[in-house]
Amino acid sequence: MKTDEDCIFCKIVAEEIPCFKLYEDEDTLSFMDINPANEGHALVISKEHWRNVHVIPDELISAVSVTAKKIASALETRFSPDGINLVQCNGEGAAQSVQHFHMHVLPRKSGDELKLNWGLAAGDMDRIQEQAAKIASTLQSTG
């Protein structure tokens, strides 16, 4: 498997750094964003290290998309948001903060005024853990 020893997401895949895991399969991993733009903000990554959309193999971008759909469905069931954004950023100008292909799954509320480049603000770890447990439970019950 292609990895980068300096990549925080590769370290999460290798279980060198903990995460609030939501879902995992052979090719992908989903976990809570610890700098959430909104409550329930989750990430989906390829387990292999690919810098961006331009280099990731088609089968892996497909796998990430399928997992993102599962996570979006779990968020819809658990939080009943007004909408959900699937956001995938590439490069500094698009605010890609980790150079490892990933997709944001963002629950939205009408009027939340969330901007695309939302910045980083540390979240409440206990609250994120609670949300992770609820979403993971939803994923387990819906398959």
DSSP secondary-structure letter at 75? H
Sheet of 21-24, strands arranged across: 21-24, 28-32, 42-46, 102-108, 83-87
- Which entry of 41, 49, 100, 102 is annotated as an active-site residue? 102
User: Using CB atoms within 10 A of its CB, is residue 54 exposed (0-12), middle (13-18) or buried (19+)?
Assistant: exposed
Rounded to whole angstroms, what are the CA distances from 142 to 80, 93, 116, 136? 16, 37, 30, 10
102 in active site? yes
Q: Which residues are catalytic?
A: 102
